[in-house]
Amino acid sequence: MCGIIGFTGKSEAQNILLNGLASLEYRGYDSAGISYFKDTGKISIRKTVGKVKDLRAICDDENNSTCGIGHTRWATHGGVTNSNAHPHKVGNVSLIHNGIIENYHELAENYDLKETLISETDTEVAAALFNKLYDGNPEETIQNVVKLFNGSFAFCIMFKDHPGIIYAIRNVSPMVAAYCEEGSFIASDLTAFINYSKRYFIVPEYHIITMTTEGIILKDLEGNTVEPEYLEVNWDVAAAQKDGYPHFMIKEIHEQPEAITRTLSPRIKDSLPDFTEDSIPDEFFKNCSDITIVACGTAMYAGMVGKTLIQSMLQIPVTVSIASEFRYEEPVIHENSMVIVVSQSGETIDTLEALRLANQYTKKTLAIVNVKGSSIARESNYVLYTHAGPEIAVASTKAYTVQVASFYLLACKLGLVLNKIEEAYAKDFIQTLQKTPKNIAAVIEQADTVERLTKRMINAQNAFFIGRGLDYTLSMEGALKLKEISYIHAEAYAAGELKHGTIALISEGIPVIAVATQKHVYSKVISNIREVKARGAYVILLSKDKELTDSSICDVHITLPDTPDAFTVFNSVVIFQLIAYYASIGKGLNPDQPRNLAKSVTVE
Ligand code: G6P
């Protein structure tokens, strides 16, 4: 939700800010802006509705400022207009913000700020308040003002009479910083300045950052200096670039075999799951009576597959909860319940709050997270990092498959510790899991076929995904993918449930993507497919059959690799991802930046 960047150093800031914003654009892309110190000590702003390229077009070629801040917006308060775009400037202060100041109405009222406001944003109220309470000492002012805010925030602030210096502070909303040869950087995430530094630190909440050309000073709200804890990533600039692919999404689809191998390899010893490197002891799995999986969006759908797998393999009750619901419920969790939170970014606010709630009930909290050192990773009792590398496209692909792969590892480990499965079974299970990358690579080779068949779908208003068992839980992710990037309304249904209502929506030509990979319900699904086909649906069938004997049941048949039933999900989902991708580009859309969405949802 909104991308922010700040730089002060020896080089010219404008390009650093614009390039950084382009990397952060997946966080929000309805407007963008920068502000910077001019030679005269004045602060100048350039901002516009539109994308970073539109901002670049209105920037000053002669701008040689070496200190500035930049923002790419995902609108929360106030429409998409130039005046609502960040940075905001009031008197002495110019700032950018990610988050929501919930009490901004009261603050505007109580501090008599309304007169000065020209936008509809909570952020401008914050700028006006910083300006109003500014006493010439930025740190003191920040200390005093942030205590008045309710809500989440990551601010980068420049004070007109302190040229060359950027101040920053955050609560909940993410922010990382680094000092390197080039100067001092701060941003919503590392992709914004990975070109300059692989070392970075996570800005602790409620700590004031002072950035100059000489370095970064970090202080707590009492004014004590704190040493930043630097981390280092093992991926490089190329990982955050398109690398010759037309879109990040298709690049990330292709990266799945590697991402899965990276995630599995360090956790497999002698064909058995091993979490020694993650410091997760077997003790953690002991006495586990039930599991609750909490997440949002695609991560939640990965949890759905985890649930189906664990329940059928181990007969342990598993619940999947939408994080935004879970956090306001009275959770049915006790000390032997395991809570698994799943998040690519590790910053999704609802998932983070759900984790905080779960931590009050049980010590058995585990996070499956992609971003190292993120809030969810830090606050969970144990972490299983997925190694997908940076995922830039808003629609998640490789992050999903590595989350699912992590559930497979966990299920196996849990089964062994609880004596629910034999070692020989576990070895066989893990060896099959290790074949997943190769199978996915084979599925990706069918991309051209998928592109061709998707052409029939692009004018559809609605589409359905149907299946049973694992195929059904997986279908939810297929429907989400199609909705979010092609804007075709799509729903997933348990195939057996169709005739209890939804079949009324099936009409001539409506696309139905049917998955039939589970032997124990195969003939049932095929009957359900016949029912929709008989009503004119355009059926795309995914199955493992090498030669489908009765081609009358579908219009297109996609043959999946011949893997055991529990493992077909990895192959089917890749076809779903490709369908969504080609539907999106077939409609002339940008799959990487679907309307109204953002990748990292740090507001409630
Ligand atoms: C947003 C993204 C989704 C993602 C979800 C959860 O909605 O667009 O792709 O699945 O947030 O994000 P997380 O980072 O917690 O996995």
* 493 inside domain: yes
Domain encompassing residue 579: 444-592
The atom of ligand 1 lying closest to the CA of 371 is 14
The atom of ligand 1 lying closest to the CA of 598 is 8
Report the C-alpha gap between 87 and 60 in whole angstroms: 16
Mean pLDDT of 417-439: 97
Q: Is the pLDDT of residue 489 over 70?
A: yes
Check residues 554 and 502 and name the one with the higher pLDDT: 554
* Contact (Cβ atoms closer than 8 angstroms) between residue 448 and residue 579: no
- Compute, in angstroms, the gap from residue 394 CA to the centroid of ligand 1: 8
- Compute, in angstroms, the gap from residue 400 CA to the centroid of ligand 1: 10
* 603 inside domain: no
Among 233, 261, 289, the domain boundary falls at 233
Q: Are residues 549 and 510 in the same domain?
A: yes
Q: Are residues 145 and 176 in the same domain?
A: yes
3-state helix, strand, coil in the chain (%, to 5): 40, 25, 40
How high is the pLDDT of residue 237? 67
- Compute, in angstroms, the gap from residue 294 CA to the centroid of ligand 1: 12
How high is the pLDDT of residue 253? 97
Mean pLDDT of 353-376: 94
Nearest to 498 by CA among 485, 478, 514: 514
The atom of ligand 1 lying closest to the CA of 297 is 10
**Averaged pLDDT of the chain:** 93
Q: Are residues 162 and 68 in the same domain?
A: yes
User: Residues 173-185: pLDDT tens digits?
Assistant: 889 999 999 999 9
Q: Are residues 377 and 455 in the same domain?
A: no
- Compute, in angstroms, the gap from residue 22 CA to the centroid of ligand 1: 19
Q: Is the pLDDT of residue 331 over 80?
A: yes
* Contact (Cβ atoms closer than 8 angstroms) between residue 548 and residue 541: yes
Q: Are residues 254 and 124 in the same domain?
A: no
Instruction: For ligand 1, pick from 191, 252, 348 the residue to mutate: most ligand atoms within 8 Å of CB.
Output: 348
User: Residues 505-528: pLDDT tens digits?
Assistant: 888 999 999 999 999 998 899 989
Q: Is the pLDDT of residue 425 over 80?
A: yes
The atom of ligand 1 lying closest to the CA of 348 is 15
* 302 inside domain: yes
> Per mean pLDDT, which range of 303-317, 374-388, 489-503 is the poorest?
489-503
Read off the CATH number of the domain in which 159 is found. 3.60.20.10
Contacts of 320 (CB under 8 A, 6+ apart): 292, 293, 294, 295, 300, 303, 304, 306, 307
How high is the pLDDT of residue 76? 78
* 481 inside domain: yes
**Residue 195 backbone phi and psi in degrees, to 5:** -60, -25
Mean pLDDT of 572-581: 97
SS3 6: strand
User: Residues 272-328: pLDDT tens digits?
Assistant: 999 999 999 999 999 999 999 999 999 999 999 999 999 999 999 999 999 999 989
* 602 inside domain: no
- Compute, in angstroms, the gap from residue 352 CA to the centroid of ligand 1: 12
- Compute, in angstroms, the gap from residue 363 CA to the centroid of ligand 1: 25
Q: Are residues 345 and 267 in the same domain?
A: yes
SS3 43: strand
| Structure confidence at residue 597 as a pLDDT band (50, 70, 90) | confident
Read off the CATH number of the domain in which 469 is found. 3.40.50.10490
Report the C-alpha gap between 9 and 213 in whole angstroms: 4
- Residue 2 annotated among the catalytic residues of the structure: yes
- Compute, in angstroms, the gap from residue 603 CA to the centroid of ligand 1: 12
User: Residues 53-62: pLDDT tens digits?
Assistant: 999 999 988 8
- Compute, in angstroms, the gap from residue 351 CA to the centroid of ligand 1: 10
User: Residues 26-77: pLDDT tens digits?
Assistant: 888 889 999 999 887 799 999 999 999 999 999 988 889 999 999 999 887 7
How high is the pLDDT of residue 398? 97
User: Residues 546-564: pLDDT tens digits?
Assistant: 877 666 789 999 999 999 9
Burial of 414-450, coded b for 16+ CB within 10 Å and e otherwise, reads bbbbbeebeeeebeebbeebeebbebbeebbebbeeb
Nearest to 339 by CA among 318, 315, 322: 318
Instruction: For ligand 1, pick from 599, 602, 603, 604 the residue to mutate: most ligand atoms within 8 Å of CB.
Output: 599
User: Residues 120-171: pLDDT tens digits?
Assistant: 999 999 999 999 999 999 999 999 999 999 998 999 999 999 999 999 999 9
Beta bridge partners of 339: 292, 365
Instruction: For ligand 1, pick from 298, 350, 596 the residue to mutate: most ligand atoms within 8 Å of CB.
Output: 298
Mean pLDDT of 431-454: 96
Catalytic option among 2, 67, 296, 554: 2
Among 210, 233, 256, the domain boundary falls at 233
Give the H or E element holding residue 559. Answer: strand 556-559
Among 434, 456, 475, the domain boundary falls at 434
* 598 inside domain: no
Domain count, the chain: 3
- Residue 435 annotated among the catalytic residues of the structure: no
Report the C-alpha gap between 296 and 300 in whole angstroms: 5
How high is the pLDDT of residue 551? 67
Q: Are residues 318 and 409 in the same domain?
A: yes
Contacts of 168 (CB under 8 A, 6+ apart): 6, 154, 155, 156, 157, 175, 177, 186, 203, 208, 209, 211
Q: Are residues 208 and 123 in the same domain?
A: yes
Atom 15 of ligand 1, nearest CA residue:
343
The atom of ligand 1 lying closest to the CA of 300 is 10
Report the C-alpha gap between 333 and 414 in whole angstroms: 18
Q: Are residues 253 and 221 in the same domain?
A: no
* Percent of the chain at pLDDT exceeding 70: 98
Q: Are residues 214 and 299 in the same domain?
A: no
How high is the pLDDT of residue 75? 81
* 599 inside domain: no
Q: Are residues 397 and 268 in the same domain?
A: yes
**Positive or negative, the Cα torsion across 495, 315, 300, 272?**
negative
Instruction: For ligand 1, pick from 26, 349, 379, 600 the residue to mutate: most ligand atoms within 8 Å of CB.
Output: 600
Pocket of ligand 1 (CB under 6 A): 296-299, 343-345, 348, 351, 394, 396, 597, 599-601
* 597 inside domain: no
Q: Are residues 311 and 212 in the same domain?
A: no
The atom of ligand 1 lying closest to the CA of 400 is 10
